[in-house]
Amino acid sequence: MADWWKNLYRAISTVFQGLLVTLRVWKSTYDSSRKTFTEHFEYPELPARVAPRYRGFHRFDVTTCIGCDQCAKACPVDCIYIGKERVENGKGFRLTHFTIDYTKCMFCALCVEPCPVDCIFMGGTLDLSSYSRDGALVDYSRLPIDVAWGRATLNPTAVAESKAVLFPVHGGPSQPEG
């Protein structure tokens, strides 16, 4: 019985805690001293600041990925498309494609957890505009490695240029010799 009362108290108090947050934020929208977004940030000239655990466009290391499909299997909307081929004279697979369809992705990060080699993360990039749906299909195996891994910002120009890249940037058996 004591547990029942404790759970009831916890349920009611957490609902009120949540409502207090809503009330505080709602009240702040009527604060006349509140700065506008552009007074806080110089976006798009400078990237907008994001929280440390923000879930933006992915960061992906094509050189580490072993093509195990765990991320694609975990994705609830099936928006990760992986192409791979067997490594000749060796073990495992080499990637030929690693495409994420951002018209479907909902940035849930469920693809990050199962990766056995930690080569996919949610990044801090929040914008990737394009004039066509094709621009929202990002093949990370065709992007420059520093862009795909998040050392340089993922941007529409890099994505557009990656569409003309015929082979994965990491080289290997998928590329023609010579």
Residues between 81 and 120 with contacts to ligand SF4, criterion CB under 6 A: 82, 100, 105-111, 114-115, 117, 119-120
Residues between 19 and 38 with contacts to ligand SF4, criterion CB under 6 A: none
Q: CA 99 to CA 38: how far, in whole Å? A: 34
What's the CA angle centered on 116, arms 135 and 55, to 5 degrees? 40
- CA distances 50 to 41, 46, 58, 123, 125, Å, are 11, 12, 14, 10, 9
Q: 48 or 108: whose CB is closer to ligand SF4?
A: 108
Stretch that binds ligand SF4, among 67-75, 123-131, 136-144, 161-169 (CB under 6 A): 67-75
Q: CA 112 to CA 122: how far, in whole Å? A: 7
Q: 123 or 162: whose CB is closer to ligand SF4?
A: 123
Query: Considering only CA atoms, which of 152, 109, 106, 154 is closest in space to residue 128?
Result: 154
Question: Contacts with ligand SF4: how many residues (CB under 6 A)?
Answer: 26
Binding site for ligand SF4 (CB under 6 A): 65-71, 74-75, 77, 79-80, 82, 100, 105-111, 114-115, 117, 119-120
